[in-house]
Structure 1
Amino acid sequence: MSESLLADTTGISAGPVSQLLEMGGPVMIVLLAIALAGVVTFIYLMLFGTFFAPRFTAKLKNAIKEWQQKPGSSTPEQLQKRAGRYAKLNPLHHLIVNTMNARLDDTDSQQIRESVARDAHDALEPFEAPLKIIEVIAALAPLLGLLGTVLGMMEAFGAMAATEGRANASQLSGGIYEALTTTAAGLVIAIPFAALAAWIEFRLRRIQKTINSALVTVISVPVTSQESPAAVETRDESVSDTGARSRRMADYSEDGHQGRLANATG
C-alpha cells in the first residue's frame, strides 16, 4: 500500500513537468532551462545587491552635512572610524571618503572628476551582467515559444499530409493544442522577467543618480588650502628677513645718507 501511495505521489509531482515536456518537445526543455537560469540570476542579483550595492545611509548624509559646514580632515577620518563591517562593503562609502581626501590634498578638479566617474562606473558594473541576462531571457522566451509552435504545426500538418487528408478534426486540433503550449510557456516566462528587468534598471538609475548627487555635493564644497608647518615656518622667516631689511634701510636714512644725496643733486 505504501508503494502505491509513493507511486501516486511521484506521479503527481512529476506529472506536470513530464506532460509539458511531452507536449512542447525540445523547445520546452530550453524554455524551462532559461527560466531556471533567470531565477538563479535574480536570486544572485538580490543577494549581491543586499551587501554590495551603493547605499546612501544616514551616516553618509550626516558626514556630507558636516563637510558642507566645515570641510576638513576630521570628516573623512571620523567616517572611516565609525564605519562598521557592513558599511565597509558599501562602495559609496569609499567613494565619498576618497573624494574628500582628494579635495584635501589639493588634487586637480578635473582629475578628481575623472577618478570619481571611473569608480562610480566600477561600483555599478557588477549589476550590468545579471540585468543583461534577465533582459535576454525576457526577449528570447517568446521567440522560443513561437519556434515551438511553428515546429508543432509543421508536425501536425505533416501527419495530416501523411494520411492523405483523411485525418479527422480531433487529431488536427490536438496537434495544434500541443503546438500552442510552447507559445503560452514562452509568454509566461517572458512577462515576469520583462517586469523584473524594468524594475532592476529603474533601481540602478536611482542608485546612479544618488551617487552623482552625493559626489557632486562633496566636490562643489570650497576647501581652503592648509599650509604645512614647514611652509608656515619658511613664510615667518621670510617675513622677519623683510622686516630686518626695512629696519636697516630706515637706519641708513637716519644716518644722513639721504641728506647728502639730496645736497649732491640739488
Structure 2
Amino acid sequence: MNPIELMQKGGLAMWPLLFLSILSVSTIIERLWFWGQIVLGNQQVTDRILDTASRDWDLAIRVAKESQKYPIAKYLLAPLRLPHPDPEIFHLALESAADDELALMRRGDKILEAIIALSPLLGLLGTVLGLIQSLGSIQISDLGTSSTTGVTLGIAESLISTAAGLIIAIISLAFYRLFQGLWFNQMRVFRKAGGALEVIYRQRWLEEEAQYEEAHPYSESASS
C-alpha cells in the first residue's frame, strides 16, 4: 500500500499521527543540526578560552564574546565578565550560568517526550475504533459464512494505526535517548571546563592579593 492508502485505511487516528510524525521529524532534524555544531565546536572553544585565560584575562573575555553561539562560551563568559569578583561569587556565577545553558540545550526534549507518550495511545485508539466499526456489523448468524471476510479485512486494517503509532514512538525514543546521552556528556564538559577556569581564577586572585599585600605592607596595621 502507498502512503495515501495507508492513511485512508488506518482511520481517523492516522491524521493526528501524521502530525506527530512531522513534528517528530522536524524536531529530530533541528536537534541533530544543533548537536552536530555543539559536538564539533565546543571543545575547540573551551580550549581557546582556557588557554587565553591563563595568559590574558581581558583577551579571554573577548574570545568568549566572539564565540557566544556556543553554549560553553556563554557559560564561561558569565563569570569572566564580572569585575574582580570574590572566588565564591565567581563559583556561584558559574553554577547559575551552567543551569541556564544546560536547560536551553534540552530544548525539544519535551516535544519528543510528548510524541513518545501520545503516539502509541493514538494508534491504539485508532485500532479500537476500527474494531468497533468492524465488529459492529457482525451478526451471530453470519459467523462461519463468507460474509465475515470483510470483517476480518477490516480488523487487519484497523491495526495499521497501532503499527504507525509504535513506529513513530520507537523512532522518537531512539533519538530522544541519543540527545539525552549528548546532554549528559555536555554536563561533564561544562563541569570540567568550569573547574579549570575556577582554578585559573583562584590562582590569579591569590597572586593579586599577594601583590597588594606586598605593595601595602602596613595598610592592615594602620587601619587597626
User: What TM-score results when the alignment is normalised by the length of structure 2?
Assistant: 0.79
On the 8 A contact 2:130/2:155 being kept in 1, the answer is: yes
Q: 2:190 aligns with which of 197, 200, 211?
A: 211
Give the structure 1 partner of residue 10 of structure 2: 24
Q: 1:226 aligns with which of 189, 199, 208?
A: 208
Q: 2:119 aligns with which of 131, 141, 155?
A: 141
Mapping 1:188-207, distance limit 5 Å:
188-207=167-186
C-alpha displacement of 1:51: 5.5
Cα deviation 1:224-262 (Å, max 9, x = unaligned):
2526x99877x37x58xx9xxxxxxxxxxxxxxxxxxxx
C-alpha displacement of 1:139: 2.3
Give the structure 2 partner of residue 38 of structure 1: 24
- 2:163 is the counterpart of 1:184: yes
- 2:154 is the counterpart of 1:175: yes
The 2-side partners of 1:217 and 1:83 are apart by 15
C-alpha displacement of 1:158: 0.2
The 2-side partners of 1:80 and 1:112 are apart by 14
> Which amino acid counterpart does residue 76 of structure 2 have in structure 1?
I
Q: 1:115 to 1:84 in 2, by over 3 A?
A: closer
> Which amino acid counterpart does residue 211 of structure 1 have in structure 2?
F
Aligned-pair identity in percent equals 22
Q: 1:153 aligns with which of 131, 140, 151?
A: 131
Between Structure 1 and Structure 2, whose CA radius of gyration is higher?
A: 1
Q: 1:66 to 1:18 in 2, by over 3 A?
A: closer
> Which amino acid counterpart does residue 138 of structure 2 have in structure 1?
M
C-alpha displacement of 1:22: 1.6
C-alpha displacement of 1:60: 2.6
> Which amino acid counterpart does residue 25 of structure 1 have in structure 2?
G
Cα deviation 1:32-66 (Å, max 9, x = unaligned):
11101111122222344456789533353254356
Q: 1:156 to 1:230 in 2, by over 3 A?
A: closer
Q: CA RMSD in A?
A: 3.3
Give the structure 1 partner of residue 109 of structure 2: 131
The 2-side partners of 1:148 and 1:59 are apart by 50
Structure 1 unaligned residues grouped into runs of 5+: 1-14, 243-266
How many equivalent pairs are there? 215
Q: 2:79 aligns with which of 99, 120, 131?
A: 99
Q: 1:93 to 1:119 in 2, by over 3 A?
A: same
> Which amino acid counterpart does residue 208 of structure 2 have in structure 1?
Q
> Which amino acid counterpart does residue 142 of structure 2 have in structure 1?
G
The 2-side partners of 1:84 and 1:220 are apart by 21
- 2:50 is the counterpart of 1:64: yes
Give the structure 2 partner of residue 12 of structure 1: none
Structure 2 unaligned residues grouped into runs of 5+: none
Q: 1:118 aligns with which of 65, 81, 96?
A: 96
The 2-side partners of 1:42 and 1:25 are apart by 26
C-alpha displacement of 1:112: 2.7
Q: Select between 213-222 and 169-178 the one with higher mean Cα deviation.
A: 213-222
The 1-side partners of 2:52 and 2:138 are apart by 80
Determine helix, strand or coil for the equivalent of 1:128.
coil
On the 8 A contact 1:24/1:182 being kept in 2, the answer is: yes
The 2-side partners of 1:107 and 1:172 are apart by 77
Cα deviation 1:124-160 (Å, max 9, x = unaligned):
2233341111122122211211111111111111011
Determine helix, strand or coil for the equivalent of 2:14.
helix
Give the structure 2 partner of residue 264 of structure 1: none
Determine helix, strand or coil for the equivalent of 1:26.
coil
C-alpha displacement of 1:28: 0.6
On the 8 A contact 1:54/1:92 being kept in 2, the answer is: no
> Which amino acid counterpart does residue 199 of structure 1 have in structure 2?
L
Give the structure 2 partner of residue 165 of structure 1: 142
